[in-house]
């Protein structure tokens, strides 16, 4: 699969293009999406090919992003606003270049980290049926079962890694907020303590002044 990406992400766009270039034949990419930015990817698909787009926001803000998928004629096949994760499967109705974009233009200061998996077509069978006069042997059937089980394991591992990364991001964000809150409480406590000292001193100063005036 050859995947091309273009966007309006400024200098981050070059990083994304580098990631794409390093994973030309891969269908899974994780990239940075800055605030007020949009990133698009293009894929040449043959008519009748079954495709699946799955994405998830790993870090940033409320973990949401806009996603839009268009066909070669500009028809919108999929459009969702502020989604944390989703999966969409479609069959290409014609030959041409399909475009799917991720947008963070609604965010003013929070950048996101987005993961997506775009699968084009289905995996070829482990043992092709053409030029075969007999059914699969017991060993071949076992190999097919193991192959399918390993594919499921890979999918589960990917989702667990994404959840772990998202959980770590939330934990670090919570830790930062707790640290800031603790610093704020310490400052407030210090200010209140100093204020109480000056307040008590003012009470005793007023008393001494009044006593001196009465004595004179």
pLDDT in tens, 150-207: 888 888 888 888 888 888 888 888 898 899 999 999 999 999 999 888 888 887 775 5
Whole-model pTM: value is 0.64
**Looking at residue 187, what is its pLDDT?**
94
- 10-residue mean pLDDT profile of the chain (216 residues): values are 50 37 54 90 90 89 90 91 90 91 89 89 69 70 82 82 82 88 93 88 66 53
Query: Is CATH 3.20.110.10 the right assignment for the domain spanning 26-122?
Result: no
Beta bridge partners of 118: 53
Domain spans in the chain, listed from the N-terminal domain onward: 26-122
Q: What is the DSSP string of the chain?
A: --EEEEES-THHHHHHHHHHHHTTT-SEEEEEE-TT-EEEEEEEE-TT-EEEEEEEEEESTTS-EEEEEE-TTS-EEEEEEEESEEEEEEE-SSSEEEEEEEE-TT-SS--EEEEEEEEES-PPPSS--TT--SPPPHHHHHHHHHHHHHHHHHHHHHHHHHHHHHHHHHHHHHHHHHHHHHHHHHHHHHHHHHHHHHHHHHHHHHHHHHHHHHH-
The residue among 2, 42, 46, 49 whose CA lies nearest residue 21 is: 2
């Amino acid at each position: 699969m050859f995947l091309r990406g273009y966007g309006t992400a400024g200098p981050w766009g070059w990083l994304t293009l580098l990631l794409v270039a390093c994973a030309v034949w891969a269908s899974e990419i994780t990239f940075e999406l800055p605030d007020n930015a949009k990133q698009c990817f293009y894929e040449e698909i043959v008519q009748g090919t079954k495709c699946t787009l799955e994405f998830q926001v790993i870090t940033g803000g409320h973990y949401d992003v806009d996603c839009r998928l268009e066909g070669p004629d500009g028809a919108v096949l999929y459009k969702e606003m502020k989604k944390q994760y989703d999966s969409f499967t479609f069959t290409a109705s014609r030959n041409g270049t399909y475009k799917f974009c991720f947008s963070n233009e609604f965010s003013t200061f929070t950048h996101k980290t987005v993961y997506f998996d775009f699968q084009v077509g289905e995996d070829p069978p482990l043992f092709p049926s053409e030029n075969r006069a007999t059914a699969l042997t017991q060993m071949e059937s076992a190999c097919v079962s193991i192959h399918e089980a390993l594919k499921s394991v890979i999918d589960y591992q990917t989702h667990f890694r994404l959840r772990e990364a998202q959980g770590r991001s939330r934990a670090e964000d919570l830790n930062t907020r707790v640290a800031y809150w603790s610093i704020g409480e310490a400052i407030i406590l210090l200010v209140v303590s100093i204020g109480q000292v000056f307040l008590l001193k003012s009470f005793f100063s007023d008393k001494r002044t009044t006593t001196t005036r009465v004595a004179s």
